[in-house]
Amino acid sequence: MSALAEPGTSFGQRLQAALVDSLLAAIIAFALFGLLLGFRTVDNVTGLTLQPRPALLAIAVGIVFFGRLLLNLFVWHGDYPITTPFAKLFSRETFERRDIRVLGITALGSALVFIVGIVIGSPACQLVAGCILGFLSIGLLRRIIVHVFPNLPYGRIFTVGGIAFAVLFPICSYLLEKAFHLGLPLRYLFDLSILVLTYIMLGWGLNIVVGLAGLLDLGYVAFYAVGAYTFALLATHFGLGFWICLPIAGAAAALWGIVLGFPVLRLRGDYLAIVTLAFGEIVRIVLLNWTDVTNGPNGVSGIPKPTFFGLPFSATGEVTFSSFFGLKYDPIQGIIFLYYVILALALITNLVTLKLRRLPIGRAWEAMREDQIACRSLGINTTITKLSAFAIGAMFGGLAGSFFATRQGFISPESFTFIESAIILAIVVLGGMGSQLGVAISAIVMVGGFEALRHTEGLQSIVGEGFDPALYRMLLFGIAMVGIMVWRPRGIIGSRTPSITLGESRPISGALVKEGSA
């Protein structure tokens, strides 16, 4: 090990040390995977039997060995980690000669692979090389823009541009499709964007509780469920519409936020997390077993879609959206409308959060996050501060829940498992707690990226037929969660903008902010 860490050693010595280290890693990998990957349990008439899979085991151990060897030699140790030039692409540091050499070789190599991929007709080569080239060109473009205009307010431009894109994207792509018949998978694109926006809204809602008030809530999905069921039951039993139920669902969820928040006022940190997790599970189990009201595991179906000021999106009926405006009926109109509903809800969540941060209650949240005892001794009522954070966070969860119910048309307790809470919390933490932009980016990466994985034919061609990416989705999600956290513990956006400053407002490091520890 020592030869690996010291910079002055020769390549031979480093290679030797790296080999020993990688061999140890391979032995550990063999111990980990030997039984679990090396054998598969198969159901037979006689009971369970074992089916050996030596090839799979060899591949897994081989990946660990060679992966660790390459990392040891080129990334972790030595004078010049190979990742330096790529990191520099996304910073403001100046390039050295060898940085340019590494980047050039990478670009040329992947361009070559890309061309070869076209010639031999392999989509896998094209996909991998295309991704590397895309990554390099984004980095290069970013460097050039930063070099030419060093003092632009990039955060603001990014935010405004993002919102403008979100507002214009469905209408523009719809009109383009209608005019030129490009064959865009509109339905899929809109469904995916609606899903991502739902998670952005949930992330922003939870951000109030975790990022601002510093209360670690692992049962956020309970409020999502309360909102969804409130709307679904009111709609199916009393025939109420979406727009009437939306505020009721938000109020119901806020009430539950207070009810569940009250008992946990004295708890802090990890204990609070685990009790909120328990509450989340209790809500789910009650929904599952209280069959008279919730229809148990069969769920509630036939939940109506929202209307456009009373005009339904349907092919038939007296006055519909399409007949009122003299348009040709198209089911995609309803989906575009849903998209704008969730976009509006998400933006309202964001706006309310930004406004609340400037109000006394928001300052009290942040003060409580930093130091509860100091907060109390300065005369801030922590009970009301905590309950208001729970209630407002829960309200947005409830609003998102009733949107989820109306979009799906069917809900069951299965949609509200702990894993949903974990995903929402992961989005908040990985984005950088308290950073609104970070939450949006990480929701796009985590949800959009992994949802897209479901439909990637390219991956299938790399690994081979019979490989189902959907199966590996959650596995990759977990690995990404651990990986991003270890790589950047303060989240993708590592800086925070203080809510109030003397003089000029400057972003500070996330490390200066206490998070989720109240």
Partner 1 sequence: MAYFLQQLINGIALGSIYGLIAIGYTMVYGIIGMINFAHGDIFMVGAFIALIAFLAVMSLGITMIPLALLIVLLVAMALTAVWGWTVERIAYRPLRESFRLAPLITAIGMSIVLQNFIQVAQGARVKPLQPVITGGYTLFEQDGFAVNLSNIQILIVFTTLVLMTVFWLIITRTALGRSQRACEQDRLMAALSGVNVDRTISLTFVLGASLAAVAGLLYLLYYGVIDFYIGFVAGIKAFTAAVFGGIGSLPGAMLGGLVIGLIETFWSAYFTIEYKDVAAFSMLAIVLIFFPTGLLGRPEVEKV
Residues that bind partner 1 (CB under 8 A): 28, 31-32, 34-37, 39-41, 43, 47-50, 216, 263-264, 266-267, 269-271, 273-275, 277-279, 281-282, 285-286, 288-289, 373-374, 418-419, 422, 425-426, 429-430, 433, 471-472, 474-475, 477-482, 485-486, 489, 511, 514-517
| Least distance from partner 1 to the Cβ atom of residue 351, Å | 26
Rounded to 5 degrees, what angle do the CA atoms 386, 275, 282 make? 110
| Least distance from partner 1 to the Cβ atom of residue 478, Å | 3
User: Considering beta carbons, is residue 338 or 428 the nearer one to partner 1?
Assistant: 428
Residue 197's Cβ-count burial label (10 Å; 0-12, 13-18, 19+) is buried
User: Considering beta carbons, is residue 244 or 511 the nearer one to partner 1?
Assistant: 511
Residues whose CB falls within 8 Å of the CB of residue 284, separated by 6 or more in sequence, listed in order: 221, 222, 225, 413, 416, 417, 418
| Least distance from partner 1 to the Cβ atom of residue 360, Å | 24
User: Considering beta carbons, is residue 160 or 512 the nearer one to partner 1?
Assistant: 512
| Least distance from partner 1 to the Cβ atom of residue 517, Å | 5
| Least distance from partner 1 to the Cβ atom of residue 400, Å | 21
Strand partners, 301: 410
Inter-helix orientation angle 154-180/436-443, to 10°:
40
| Separation CA 122–CA 127 (nearest Å) | 9
Question: What are the structure tokens assigned to 149, written together?
Answer: 């205009």
The values of phi and psi at residue 517, to 5°, are -115, 0
| Separation CA 74–CA 448 (nearest Å) | 32
Rounded to 5 degrees, what angle do the CA atoms 271, 402, 261 make? 25
User: Considering beta carbons, is residue 42 or 119 the nearer one to partner 1?
Assistant: 42
User: Considering beta carbons, is residue 369 or 407 the nearer one to partner 1?
Assistant: 369
**How far does CA 358 lie from the centroid of its chain?**
27
| Least distance from partner 1 to the Cβ atom of residue 374, Å | 8
| Least distance from partner 1 to the Cβ atom of residue 295, Å | 15
User: Considering beta carbons, is residue 416 or 477 the nearer one to partner 1?
Assistant: 477
DSSP state letters, 441-466: HHHIIIIIHHHHHTT-HHHHHHH-TT
User: Considering beta carbons, is residue 104 or 478 the nearer one to partner 1?
Assistant: 478
